Structure 1
């Protein structure tokens, strides 16, 4: 099992967990949920007190990855299988992402 803290502008929002190749979970932190001024990170991951479960990496996180040739180049440089999206996400989404969300492996 692998875990990552999901951060928005450096503040922890929740946890992204890969339990197995076909089981991913995302859950918001209680502190984030209890603050009405804090938004959800995605329309597909609304700010509710429940565990989101998926057989594949959630589209919100998958869309943080590079595509095409850039994905292949990153995978080669980082020595990660180009189909190991969770590992690529953890290595490429720690800083300087397109939006406010970053990840930090735990």
Structure 2
């Protein structure tokens, strides 16, 4: 099982999990109670129930680089192109925009 912390700006928005059953994204309970926060995507509005999918949610898959940048990432980190969660964890720590993805076991000291 692989897990990632999903941040919106500097706030912990939720946890993304890959398991044998597929993928799940759940908003953090504290995040849901904060004023003026928003969903990480229009397709993933704020709610208490997790978003479930057999494949990586399109919003997260869209964060993964494409083309020559994907080729570099695959060769550099030796990641199979079909392992979308591994690519997301390796490539999306500092994305353009408000969302960033970090492995669950990463601490600020690791960066």
TM over 0.5: yes
Q: How far 1:82 sits from its partner (Å)?
A: 1.5
Runs of 4+ in 1 over 3 A off after TM superposition: none
Deviation per CA, 1:18-47: give whole Å up to 9, x if none: 012x50000000111112311111011110
Correspondence for 2:65:
66
Deviations 1:60-105 (A, max 9, x none): 100101112221221111111111111011011112x111111111
TM-score w.r.t. the length of structure 1 is: 0.92
| Structure 2, gaps ≥5 residues long | 105-111
Say which SS state the counterpart of residue 70 (structure 1) adopts. helix
Residues 1-106 of structure 1 correspond to what in structure 2 (within 5 A)? Answer: 1-20=1-20, 23-95=22-94, 97-106=95-104
Could you tell me which runs of 5 or more consecutive residues in structure 1 were left unpaired when the two chains were aligned: none
Q: Counterparts of 1:31 and 1:37 in 2: how far apart (Å)?
A: 13
Provide the aligned C-alpha RMSD in A. 1.1
Q: How many angstroms apart in 1 are the aligned matches of 2:82 and 2:71?
A: 9
Structure 1 Cα separation of the partners of residues 76 and 102 of structure 2: 20
